[in-house]
Structure 1
Amino acid sequence: MHFTGTVWRPPYEADSLLLEVTAGCTHHKCKFCTLYDDIPFPFKMSPMQDITSDLLEIQTLYYHPMTSQANKLTGQPQREGFKRAFLTGANPFVLQSERLLKIAARIYEYVPTVKTIGCFARITDIKQKTEEELLALRDAGYTSLTIGMETGDTDALQFMNKGYTAQDILEQCKRLDAANISYAFFYLTGISGAGKGVFGATRTADICNQLHPKLIGANMLTIYPNSELYQEIQRGNWKEEREVEKYQELQVLIKRLNIPVQFAAMGASNAIPMYGSLPQDKEKLLMTLEHIITQIGEEQLREYRTHLRHL
């Protein structure tokens, strides 16, 4: 299989076929991001011959009759076929619709048990596609996307150089709703900066309440010395939230969300994993957050953040 650098995928894509169709990020300008620093180029599309080669490898390992016979002879368990494929890279949805449709067709040709496809997407990737293209991609199996919205605070988005505004999030995700393409949001707790977390959470809830995300996954902003944001802090241009303020921010976000949505804080950046369904688990999540704030406190939470070597 062809993989370049660290392979990032959402937790809920753990059982999906991971297929590299891009490497790196087309934007590569977010001040806080260091995820793709181990790649020696900003962005690259995988050649179709590499994609086909990887699919052939999967076909051989999982679907070839001789593989099944070999497993029986050696007492190995039979491998179940993949039901879903996840295209890796920071934002494969940036690819032209024609190429995405070609990739889908190739997946189904070699791995016929796959029924749906997902990938990471930037808001700007959606904007590039027409309504007709979005519908065609949905019909081809692109049923859900994972989007790093980060926040509904436009000032924070602009300072971090995300390349879009809160209004862009609203407009483009309404287009996904219309095309019946579901999506999950990644929310970056702490992105608004010290003293502004409540504002950022409020604006984010205001945006999300007008949309239909299937999940909001919260990650805690963790600042590494090789990030541009670290340099902004050294220059006195930005100040990080305290750890307790980040959890207070999540309290406000959960309180203000009034849509049915899954909420998760499961990644390594979160010192205390949380998961629940809103609105039914709202009080349970708020109680957990209150316990973290009052019983665990700043010192232990900061120690966790300080010793988190990598996301």
Structure 2
Amino acid sequence: MEDLEKLHFTGTVWRPPHEAHSVLLQVTVGCTHRACKFCSLYGDLRFRMSPLEEVEADLQIIARYQPRARRVFLVGANPFVLSYGRLVRLADLIRDYLPKVATIGMFSRISDIRQKTPEQLRDLRLRGFTGISIGTETGDDPTLHFMNKGTTAREIDEQCRKLDEAGIEYYFTYMTGLAGAGNGHRAARASVELFNRLHPYIIGVVSLTLFPEAPLWQEVRDGRFVEASEGERLEELRTLVAGLQIPVTVMAHTVSNAVPLLGRLPEDRARMLRELDDARRRFNERELAAYRRGIVHL
């Protein structure tokens, strides 16, 4: 491919599994927060907005190769931090080059939603912004505080209700093992209480997998954080699946999940719980821990 046809991607590109068929378009680089103890995804990348000239150049290339694209996923740790005006400009630019695009998705932090008024959110929904992926990780306040997530369960509740009112579909990420050894049930129960008040379309489940670049790695080495066992993580996931009373798809099938699980609640609950129980009988702690040690990249 000629230099003029290279898209402007910086660093490793991340997208949720359910965005596998979406066109990827970089509009920001890095994360505005960069403080979560468990995270090693964005390294030393400083947050910046992509110049509109770069975005337009990428759209010109995409239009040649995927002119009938129906969905665009905006790349970056949390592009929803962009101002309302900037997002409107991006939506207009996307449709200038990809007129068949119906919806636009992206990652968001809870604080990014807080910056938008209800009226702005409703207008963004009319412009196709739906499918907001939010790394909630947990609804357990002690864990959110310890991990420097920069939000609380109450704030998650308040801001996602704004998305509900605006008609914007959103997806959560839940992380088993994040609360540490002995705290999995507490974290799952707190998350169930929070999630059952809201309307996530998908809950994507990952499991805490540490790499040396993450600040939490050193805390584990120093004994300030004790990782949950693999068995406890499966029990935590079981508590989550058993407690959720909302209609939602649970997707726990990424590389970080030693035992993959996928289903729709409530109709698949019995089958999912049975699979988790079977896994607890089939695999011992040593086998599951060996799997996690073998993960070299997320």
TM range (shorter): over 0.9
Structure 2 match to 1:67 = none
Q: What CA distance in whole angstroms lies between the structure 1 residues aligned with 2:46 and 2:279?
A: 38
Deviations 1:106-157 (A, max 9, x none): 0001011111100000011101111111111111110220000000100000
Alignment of 1:157-172 (within 5 A): 157-172=144-159
Count of residues paired in the alignment: 292
Structure 2 residue 142 is matched with structure 1 residue 136:
no
2:25 aligns with 19
Identity level (%): 48
- What amino acid does structure 2 have at the position aligned with 1:224? F
Aligned position for 1:254 = 241
User: What is the deviation of 1:168?
Assistant: 0.7
Between the aligned partners of 2:87 and 2:13, the Cα distance in structure 1 is 20
Distance across 2 between alignment mates of 1:173 and 1:232: 32
Q: Which of residues 57, 61, 64 is equivalent to 1:60?
A: 64
1:9 lines up with 2:21 in the alignment: no
1-structure distance, mates of 2:108, 2:230? 28
Mapped partners of 1:291, 1:105: distance in 2 = 50
Q: What is the Cα deviation at residue 274 of structure 1? A: 1.4
Partner amino acid, structure 1, of 2:36: C
Query: Quick one: which amino acid aligns to residue 280 of structure 1?
Result: E
SS in 1 for 2:284: helix
State the shift of 1:15 in Å: 1.0
- Greater Rg by CA: 1
Q: Distance in 2 between matches of 1:248 and 1:41?
A: 35
For structure 2, list consecutive stretches of 5 or more residues without a partner in the other structure. Answer: 1-6
Partner of 2:4: none
- Structure 1 runs of 4+ with >3 Å offset: none
SS at match of 1:254: helix
Q: Which residue of 2 aligns with 1:185?
A: 172
Structure 2: how far apart are the matches of 1:263 and 1:61?
33
SS at 2:179 equivalent: coil
Q: Which residue of 2 aligns with 1:117?
A: 104
How far did 1:272 drift? Answer: 2.3
Contact 1:15–1:82 under 8 Å retained in 2? no
Corresponding residue for residue 295 of structure 1: 282
Q: How far apart are 1:292 and its partner, in Å?
A: 1.3
In the alignment, which residue of structure 1 is the partner of 2:53?
Answer: 49
Q: Secondary structure at the match of 1:276?
A: strand
Classify the secondary structure of the residue corresponding to 2:242: helix
Q: Which residue is equivalent to 2:76?
A: 89
Q: Partner letter of residue 53 of structure 1?
A: A
Alignment match, 1:99: 86
Aligned equivalents of 1:300 and 1:23: distance in 2? 37
**Local SS of the residue matching 1:236:** coil
Q: Secondary structure at the match of 2:283?
A: helix
**Matches of 2:169 and 2:250, distance apart in 1:** 15
Alignment partner, residue 32 of structure 1: 38
> Which of the numbers 274, 283, 290 marks the counterpart of 2:261?
274
Contact persistence 1:215–1:261 (CA under 8 A): yes
Please give the TM-score of this superposition, normalised by the length of structure 2. 0.96
Q: What CA distance in whole angstroms lies between the structure 2 residues aligned with 1:297 and 1:169?
A: 36
- TM-score between the two structures when normalised by the length of structure 1: 0.92
